[in-house]
Chain A
Amino acid sequence: MSSEFRVVGKPQPKMDAMEKVTGRAKYASDYVLPGMLHLKILRSPYPHARIVSIDTSAALALPGVKAVLTHKDMPAYRPNLWMPLLTDVARFVGDDIAVVAAVDEETAIEALGLIKVDYQVLPFVLDPEEALKPSAPKLFPEGNLLGGAPTVVSRGDVEKGFAEADVVYEARYKTPTVNQAPAESRVSLAKWEGGRLTIWDSTQGPFEVQKGVAKALHIPMSKVHVICEFMGGGFGDKGYPGRHQILAALIARQTGRPARIELDRDEYYVAGLRRYAAVIDLKYGVKKDGTLTAIQTKVFANSGAYAQFALAALGVMQVPMSVYRCANMKGEAYTVSTNTPATGPFRCVGHPQGTFAQEVHMDIIAQKLGMDPVELRLKNYARLEDGDQFRKIPFSSNGMEECILRGAEAFKWKDRMKTASQAGPVKKGFGVAVHACSHGGMMPGMPLSGMVKVNADGTVNVFSGATELGAGQKTTMGMIAAEELGVLFSSVSVTTADTDMTTDTGATSGSRQTITGGTGVKMAAADAKNQLLDVAAVELKTDKKNLSIRDSVVYVAGSDKGTPLDQIAAKAPGGVIFGRGVLNAPTNVFFHGFAAQFAEVEVDTRNGHVKVLKIVAAHDLGRVINPLGAENQIEGGVIQGMGFGVSEDQIIDKASGICVNPNHLNYKMLTIKDVPEIQTIMVESVDAVGPFGAKGIGEPPYSPPAPAIANAIFNAIGVRFSELPITNRAILMGLKAAKA
């Protein structure tokens, strides 16, 4: 399939790798400007408290302090519906109360200590089910249940479905609060000069930041320039403007000096947005032959003090309601505020939680039916013709079956189940999990664009508002444009994430840029190609339809002799070939990240240690644009997802609401020594919408590892875990309970 392409499908090292390996790449945190002020935030030590009064006079009087702002000084703008820029009611330990700007960091820190705050401490609530009780302390007048009522989605008749079932099984699952913890913190440097604001930012959404800052400061978008050439990871936390960019912009304007804000790592753990902890109740009905007859789900999302999404819990519900086909479904989703840090996307909203719950649930059902877990998946997965039952849209492609079958084959699923060794204290086990949810896509009115310029020498510049997060977005845009235009990839340069130089194509999140940004540059490249062929038709005295471009050479049909592209480009009227791509999607289109993952683990029953030996990850990418980058994404997502399964957990002390592990030592991200062997299989279902049939791949690999590992652990030691993370203490207590 891929052999028909000249660029697409060929492994390509990252275009910006040189800058990264040499240390020359400048991230937002590396920029320094003369006269730069350093900003520091005063944070609430209480989980819930009203600010009765706040006296900043001593802080302002400290030499070197140039500004101290509180809620009284803030514009009306909010980064999300509930989150004020600086608050007059602290709603979690760490909530932003005031900001200090000083000539250096030490002075700013000293000034923080001089701000006098009179707090009226209020009762607080940390657990979502507690928060739903009428007696619970309210974070907002509207109450703790966002939207005032659960979101209910249903189809068919679940009670009828349960009545038809031979086996009905219900269980509760819990997943923890986890932190994106990217290597680069939230950092912004804002410079105000001549009525214009320049912001060097570590963001996934430079245009989102531009829009937010313009709105907050009441200045035109044209006067806000956001730049993000390199950024040190986001994983969902940095898709929207947060408090810090706005505060930096406000202070830059107020003082006339560049304003820099960088959150310390312990601040990062409580500021920003993290993945909400979920409590998920599943009740499924199946026939003896494994056919699902009813799926019922209830989700409680602990969305913290300030939720980025009012309907965040729906993200979890999506999983039970779209991965498998079933006529009778009902779901109730509760998004609940509590006095804990704010929540938002982290490599998907809700899928990791929902996939863990469902894939363990299905494994238990397989066990009850005496059925091979892979067979159960094959029986029930939603086919191409079923469509996405949750969003009620068709699948633009569906590689699920191939993922399951090729994955099982590579993993030797049938054989391994037979040879599982059980003698001795160390037990091996094998597990499977699938994934099929919708990820980012196109929606009417959503920005989708790209630009391509062909230079007089035939080389090409590509401009995309996508951000290079490390997933290779820059390289992917370049490859798509090169393929469409017919030029050598080596002749292409790509500019990304600059609000002056590129156009908005939506935030780089939801695994969407291959489809959205990719379509934008593909259309722009097609437009540029069209203009080139117009010129070539004149120069080569032939009909346009006889012309093609391959490897930067223009060919006339029937002749092997080509004309180098520079000879054509140099003749462009007005000296410019400029391609424009814009699409207003006619309907909602979401791509689906079908996947099947298989895990092999070893459990040491003496000390509870789980060693994940191998993971086979089969993923449907539609069409692989860059196999090298795609494989890297799959491997990285699998490892991060494994962390969600076995070690990551942001823990809050119940008596005080204080996070006890806001650091890299006790918030446990996996190291190179913890990583299993990973085998990736890339399935190409050739998507109907994506450029060259491609879909995204950033998020899908993250969801299946946790349940695949949990299922493998069950296979090894016969103990089920319905809560994450599955740490060695969970294993030991589980083994002890099983013995009793």
Chain B
Amino acid sequence: MEEEQDMSPDGEERESGKLRVSRRSFLKGMGVSTAAAAIAQTVVPPLEAETVPLVKGVREATIITEINGKKYRLAVKSHWTLLDVLRRELGLTGTKKTCDRSSCGACTVIMDGKAIYACSLLAIEADQHKITTIEALSDGENLHPIQAAFIREDALQCGFCTPAMIMSTKALLDSNPRASLIEIKEALSGNVCRCAAYPKITKAVLSLAQKA
């Protein structure tokens, strides 16, 4: 059993960038230190950990998820992301992959009313949840007002980030229809537009918020 670790200098200031290690020994690479009981720790009776049966792990599972109002029963591998499943398994290619690392926003979808990055949700985590992608917003030529505003205000250039930008806008306006300029910028701050159509995007969303 690993020993408790007492990490604090316990009120000692670090001097000259060096930690004064007077009360513990340093074992390179081992991460174990002699316990010093100076820090008060509250210990309560053990959780049922020792008697709890181990939960079974899975490498694949069948999930039930509602996507764009339709219920799906999907066989997914545990290491697939929601983005993989949307694009590859379901052919919903409106949601894009640009960075695949939660740092650009191109994969934004709405889950249970909130904008999230599909690239950092495992598909298996979408079980029992409601997902909305860009494909839900239009019906043939009938466009969602956000889409119409984006066209009217030319709030796009290459269009690759546009579906995600629209989903972030929808998540915002669904919960805050009269969003202020600052709130709009905050809500869209997680959507990078490399073409930098930001001024017209802002104008389009503001026009919707001001009409509400």
- Interface of chain B residues 21 through 37 with chain A (CB within 8 A): none
CB distance A16 to B159 under 8 Å?
Answer: yes
A1-41 Cβ-contact flags toward B at 8 Å (1 or 0): 00000000001011011111111111101101000000000
User: Which residue in B99, B186, B193 is a CB contact (below 8 Å) of A664?
Assistant: B99
Q: Tell me the nearest residue of chain A to B160, going by C-beta.
A: A232
CB distance A181 to B93 under 8 Å?
Answer: no
How long is the Cα–Cα vector from A232 to B95 in the complex, in angstroms?
13
B172-200 Cβ-contact flags toward A at 8 Å (1 or 0): 00000000000001101111111111111
Q: Tell me the nearest residue of chain B to A25, going by C-beta.
A: B159
A662-681 Cβ-contact flags toward B at 8 Å (1 or 0): 01110001111101001000
CB distance A664 to B159 under 8 Å?
Answer: no
B179 to chain A, nearest CB (A): 13
How long is the Cα–Cα vector from A638 to B195 in the complex, in angstroms?
10
Contacts of A232 in B (CB 8 A): 96, 98, 158-160
A17-B151, A22-B147, A629-B154 are contacts. A664–B101 as well, Cβ < 8 Å? yes
A23-B163, A265-B100, A663-B101 are contacts. A675–B151 as well, Cβ < 8 Å? no
CB distance B159 to A671 under 8 Å?
Answer: no
User: Which residue in A183, A664, A669 is a CB contact (below 8 Å) of B158?
Assistant: A183
- Interface of chain B residues 144 through 170 with chain A (CB within 8 A): 147, 150-152, 154, 156-163, 166
A178 to chain B, nearest CB (A): 12
User: Which residue in A20, A230, A235, A671 is a CB contact (below 8 Å) of B189?
Assistant: A671
CB distance A233 to B154 under 8 Å?
Answer: no
- Interface of chain B residues 75 through 105 with chain A (CB within 8 A): 87-88, 91-101, 103-104
How long is the Cα–Cα vector from A78 to B104 in the complex, in angstroms?
33
A624-638 Cβ-contact flags toward B at 8 Å (1 or 0): 000011011101111
CB distance A672 to B147 under 8 Å?
Answer: no
Q: Tell me the nearest residue of chain A to B98, going by C-beta.
A: A183
CB distance A30 to B156 under 8 Å?
Answer: no
User: Is the CB of A256 closer than 8 A to any CB of chain B?
Assistant: no
B190 to chain A, nearest CB (A): 8
CB distance B150 to A184 under 8 Å?
Answer: no
B195 to chain A, nearest CB (A): 5
Contacts of A470 in B (CB 8 A): 156-159, 195
Q: Tell me the nearest residue of chain B to A234, going by C-beta.
A: B158
Binds A, one of B50-58, B120-128, B129-137: B129-137
Contacts of B192 in A (CB 8 A): 183, 664, 669, 671
Contacts of A264 in B (CB 8 A): 100
Contacts of A23 in B (CB 8 A): 92-95, 133-135, 163
CB distance B150 to A673 under 8 Å?
Answer: no
A: number of interface residues (CB 8 Å)? 55
A32-B91, A470-B195, A673-B189 are contacts. A663–B99 as well, Cβ < 8 Å? yes
Contacts of B151 in A (CB 8 A): 13-14, 17-18, 21
B108 to chain A, nearest CB (A): 12
Q: Tell me the nearest residue of chain B to A30, going by C-beta.
A: B93
How long is the Cα–Cα vector from A230 to B191 in the complex, in angstroms?
20
CB distance B156 to A20 under 8 Å?
Answer: yes
User: Is the CB of B138 closer than 8 A to any CB of chain A?
Assistant: yes
CB distance B195 to A636 under 8 Å?
Answer: yes
How long is the Cα–Cα vector from A370 to B134 in the complex, in angstroms?
57
Interface hub of B94, B152, B158 (most chain A Cβ within 10 A)? B158
User: Is the CB of B106 closer than 8 A to any CB of chain A?
Assistant: yes
Q: Tell me the nearest residue of chain B to A106, going by C-beta.
A: B79
User: Is the CB of B61 closer than 8 A to any CB of chain A?
Assistant: no
Contacts of A14 in B (CB 8 A): 151, 154, 156
CB distance B150 to A17 under 8 Å?
Answer: yes
Contacts of A185 in B (CB 8 A): 98
CB distance B201 to A632 under 8 Å?
Answer: no
Q: Tell me the nearest residue of chain A to B186, going by C-beta.
A: A673
Contacts of A631 in B (CB 8 A): 154, 200
CB distance B198 to A672 under 8 Å?
Answer: yes
Contacts of B194 in A (CB 8 A): 181-183, 233, 235, 640, 669
Contacts of A32 in B (CB 8 A): 88, 91
A164-184 Cβ-contact flags toward B at 8 Å (1 or 0): 000000000000000001111
In the complex, given contacts A21-B147, A672-B202, what are 7 additional A-B residue pairs having Cβ atoms less than 8 angstroms apart? Answer: A32-B91, A232-B158, A264-B100, A664-B98, A670-B196, A673-B186, A675-B199
Q: 7 A-B contacts, Cβ less than 8 Å apart?
A: A13-B154, A17-B150, A25-B159, A27-B96, A29-B97, A181-B194, A184-B158
Give B residues with C-beta under 8 Å from A: 87-88, 91-101, 103-104, 106, 133-135, 137-138, 141, 143, 147, 150-152, 154, 156-163, 166, 185-186, 188-202
Counting from the closest, the 7 A-B pairs by CB-CB distance are: A23-B94, A470-B158, A20-B159, A232-B160, A470-B157, A639-B196, A23-B134
